[in-house]
Amino acid sequence: MLQLDLGPVGEAFPEAALDQLQVEFQKTLGLSELKLVSDELGQRSHNLRRIWQRAVAWRADYRPIYLDNRDKHSLRKVRSYLQRLRADLEIFEGRRRLQGALTIRSWREAEGAEAQRLAEELLSYRNQTWRRSLDSINTELVDLSRMVEILAGEDRLDQLADLKDNQLKPSLERLARELTRLRAAGQLRSEELPAAVVQELNEALFGRGYAIYEEYQTIRPGKGGLYLLAWQRLGLLQQREGLQAEALRELQQLEALYPPLASLTQKRNKELARKAERSLANGALDLVMLSLLTLGGFFGLGWQIIRMTQHQLAALARLRQQNELILSSAGEGVLGVDRQGKTIFINPAGARQLGWEQQDLVGQSYQQILACRGSEQNLFDPISRALQQGSCHRSDEALFCRRDGSQVPVACVVTPMHNEQQQIEGAVVTFMDISDRKAAEQTLRRYYDRLAEQEQALAELNKGLEQKVAERTRLLEEKSRQLIVTQEELAHAEKLAAIGSLAAGVAHEINNPTAIIRGNVEILQAALGQPGDYQEETDEILHQVERISLITGNLLAFARKKNLKRKDFDLNELLEEILDQVGHHISIDGIEVSFVPDNEIPPYHGDGEGLRQVFTNLVINALQAMGETGVLAISTCFQNGQLSVQVSDTGPGIPADIQGEIFNPFFTTKDNGTGLGLSVSYGIVQAHGGSLEIQNVQTGGACFNVLLPTEG
């Protein structure tokens, strides 16, 4: 209605149709849902009626604006008015020029005073005020035409307003003023350049009832006018959008009433069927009674009987018609079967959903539509149950069969039909195509499946991540353990280096006085002459000086940078030499010495003198630890690219609490020990890239293991 032609509204609001619908529902009394649906329907009709009225009003508003707009927007009118004014002006000027020419001719022919008067008239011609008015009218008209052309091509409303407010309007006012002046000077006849044309120009451009604010020259909206028209038209078009949206909403809500209407239809159907049966029964009774009366001679009442019967039949026909109307307008499929299972009726929606023509399905067995023949669905036959047991059956998801054999999922309710004697007459099947719902469910299921897959993938990813984190943590812990060990080694090395440099300084300082003491004691011995005189004392001094030299030598060995003098030698031979020499210095009578060399070991490339010192230290320590008896065991072997020398004894072993300290310089548990043997040995082995390990053996005693790499 809002988009069609803008002629007067021809059709009226379909009040009657809505009222009729209401009335139809009112007839079905006793149904509780009816009130709700009826109220809802009433509310919707009321709203629709209101929208209709507003739409009619809108059309009334829009029509003149639309027509005005169509007329004026082209500016045809304005152009023609301006053309007319310019034509009038040219005619007027032509006339004035002709008049001037005639005056000049008269002046030429005239003589005396007349010639003088005419000459003055001709001279004053150019100076006259009306002449200036004429020029400015000409200018204004040219300006106006130019501006109107701009106006016609311009589509920005703000620029139009500016052009009109500040240029067009003043120009028109000047034109009107000059015309009035010209007319007042008696130069214009009434039909020449009529003032009405200026008025019409004003109205065409600014609309009827326009007025100007004096201070700002701003146009106050009157009726019509191009600017106002455009503005109003826009407003009305927006109103139209609003109305259409509202109407659409109402219609959608009306559509939402279909499902409850369909269920009401079914109930109404039953009600009407019962009424019809009652009416027929009553009709038949009346007929019998009236027949008796007729037989009794009341022929006069015959006509009355026939009329009543006709009324009953007409009522019945009306009921049937209403029945059919309701059935055909229902959105659900409604199918009726008789006791034998033959289809006796189907409504259009049902036939459409099953792909049958209504008339073709009537008379067919309901088996035609109950699932596909041969499929398992046949096992579930709610219609035959309803026909046999007289009970209602409801299925939210059954399969019906279309005429072309394809299946359609439906939600259905099967209700048995009883006659007055409560015998089963047939059944009514109400069903609704749920393909859309099923499709939506399937899509949803697919989404769920995908979600589950993604969750599983995520869980696996998490598991992998956890494993990686655990692995990384283990590696980090290992690295940090190595770091701690390295730090400890570094600290130890730094400590040794500091002690070493201090020791070297002290040893160096002690060496000189020791040499002086030794020299002087020797001089003293020579001076004393007799071997018995103070021999013991001077020998003791020399012995202690020797000892001091030994200590300082050890100190210097410890502190000295280990510049190894490497060459190939046999480690087994070196060890045998050491054992021989030690025997000369220390008593090893009560000691059992066991040397088990590995004869397969390769020659070792190292500093033989340095290593001699190491093994001598270890052997002496072992012998000192054992005292007079015990077993000193020495063995060599070669494995994994390393030479290994083990020196073990059967002494008391090394207590656990001092194992970390025995390699520190000056650590000793012996009364006359220096505590430098192991620390010097440790330094020499390290300089060879090897290691010196200590372990207690199970039988008691200590075992030192020297590992020397042969490669790199």
Strands (E), 238-332: none
Q: What is the DSSP string of 361-413?
A: HTTSBGGGTBS-TTSGGGG--HHHHHHHH---EEEEEEEEE-TTS-EEEEEEE
- Give the shortest CB-478-to-ligand ADP separation in angstroms: 32
The residue from 674, 690, 692, 706 that contacts ligand ADP (CB under 6 A) is: 674
x/- contact string, 463-492, with ligand ADP (CB under 6 A)? ------------------------------
- Give the shortest CB-676-to-ligand ADP separation in angstroms: 6
Residue 269, classed as helix, strand or coil, is helix
- Give the shortest CB-482-to-ligand ADP separation in angstroms: 28
324 or 592: whose CB is closer to ligand ADP?
592
Under a CB-based contact definition with an 8 Å cutoff, are residues 259 and 40 in contact?
no
Stretch that binds ligand ADP, among 241-249, 433-441, 559-567, 671-679 (CB under 6 A): 671-679
46 or 670: whose CB is closer to ligand ADP?
670
307 or 547: whose CB is closer to ligand ADP?
547
- Give the shortest CB-701-to-ligand ADP separation in angstroms: 7
380 or 663: whose CB is closer to ligand ADP?
663
- Give the shortest CB-620-to-ligand ADP separation in angstroms: 7
- Give the shortest CB-562-to-ligand ADP separation in angstroms: 17
239 or 695: whose CB is closer to ligand ADP?
695
Two structure tokens written together for 262: 């369909």
Please provide the distance, in angstroms rounded to a whole number, between the alpha carbons at the two ends of the chain: 102
28 or 668: whose CB is closer to ligand ADP?
668
Under a CB-based contact definition with an 8 Å cutoff, are residues 17 and 41 in contact?
no
d(CA 584, CA 46): 133
361 or 611: whose CB is closer to ligand ADP?
611
Residue 552 touches ligand ADP, criterion: CB under 6 A: no
41 or 555: whose CB is closer to ligand ADP?
555
- Give the shortest CB-696-to-ligand ADP separation in angstroms: 9
Two structure tokens written together for 286: 């009346």
Number of residues that bind ligand ADP (CB under 6 A): 20
Two structure tokens written together for 314: 């007409």
Which H or E run contains 630? strand 630-639
- Give the shortest CB-581-to-ligand ADP separation in angstroms: 17
Q: What is the DSSP string of 188-249?
A: S-TTSS-HHHHHHHHHHHH-BT-EE-TTT-PEEP-B--HHHHHHHHHHHHHHHHHHHHHHHH
The residue from 94, 396, 670, 700 that contacts ligand ADP (CB under 6 A) is: 670
Annotate 168-191 with b (16+ C-beta within 10 A) or e (fewer). bbebbebbbebbebbbeeebbeee
CA neighbor of 680 nearest in space, from 562, 576, 511, 575? 562
Strands (E), 261-392: 333-338, 343-346
Site for ligand ADP in 603-622 (CB under 6 A): 617, 621-622
- Give the shortest CB-704-to-ligand ADP separation in angstroms: 7
- Give the shortest CB-655-to-ligand ADP separation in angstroms: 9
Residue 673 touches ligand ADP, criterion: CB under 6 A: yes
x/- contact string, 185-224, with ligand ADP (CB under 6 A)? ----------------------------------------
Q: Which residue reads 């769920």 in tokens?
A: 448
Q: How far is residue 331 from each of residues 256, 261, 359, measured CA to CA in Å? A: 11, 9, 19
366 or 682: whose CB is closer to ligand ADP?
682
The residue from 677, 688, 690, 692 that contacts ligand ADP (CB under 6 A) is: 677
Two structure tokens written together for 634: 């020495």
Residue 156, classed as helix, strand or coil, is coil
x/- contact string, 563-602, with ligand ADP (CB under 6 A)? ----------------------------------------
70 or 670: whose CB is closer to ligand ADP?
670
d(CA 97, CA 115): 19
Q: What is the DSSP string of 474-535?
A: HHHHHHHHHHHHHHHHHHHHHHHHHHHHHHHHHHHHHHHHHHHHHHHHHHHHHHH-STTTTH
d(CA 156, CA 133): 34
- Give the shortest CB-468-to-ligand ADP separation in angstroms: 48
x/- contact string, 630-669, with ligand ADP (CB under 6 A)? -------------------x-x--x-------x----xxx
What's the length of the chain? 712
- Give the shortest CB-549-to-ligand ADP separation in angstroms: 16
Residue 370 touches ligand ADP, criterion: CB under 6 A: no
d(CA 300, CA 307): 12
Site for ligand ADP in 31-60 (CB under 6 A): none
45 or 650: whose CB is closer to ligand ADP?
650
Task: Lay out the sheet containing 343-346: strands in order across.
Answer: 343-346, 333-338, 424-433, 407-418, 393-401
205 or 619: whose CB is closer to ligand ADP?
619
- Give the shortest CB-519-to-ligand ADP separation in angstroms: 28
User: How many CA atoms does the CB half-sphere of 630 hold within 13 Å?
Assistant: 22
384 or 635: whose CB is closer to ligand ADP?
635
- Give the shortest CB-659-to-ligand ADP separation in angstroms: 9
d(CA 342, CA 362): 7
- Give the shortest CB-499-to-ligand ADP separation in angstroms: 13
Q: Would you say the C-alpha torsion 452, 457, 458, 463 has a positive or negative sign?
A: positive
354 or 662: whose CB is closer to ligand ADP?
662
678 or 692: whose CB is closer to ligand ADP?
678
CA neighbor of 675 nearest in space, from 612, 621, 610? 621
Under a CB-based contact definition with an 8 Å cutoff, are residues 665 and 559 in contact?
no
Site for ligand ADP in 678-707 (CB under 6 A): 678-679, 702
For the chain, what is the radius of gyration of the CA atoms?
A: 65
42 or 673: whose CB is closer to ligand ADP?
673
d(CA 405, CA 355): 10
- Give the shortest CB-587-to-ligand ADP separation in angstroms: 17
Q: Return residues touching ligand ADP (CB under 6 A).
A: 617, 621-622, 625, 649, 651, 654, 662, 667-670, 673-679, 702
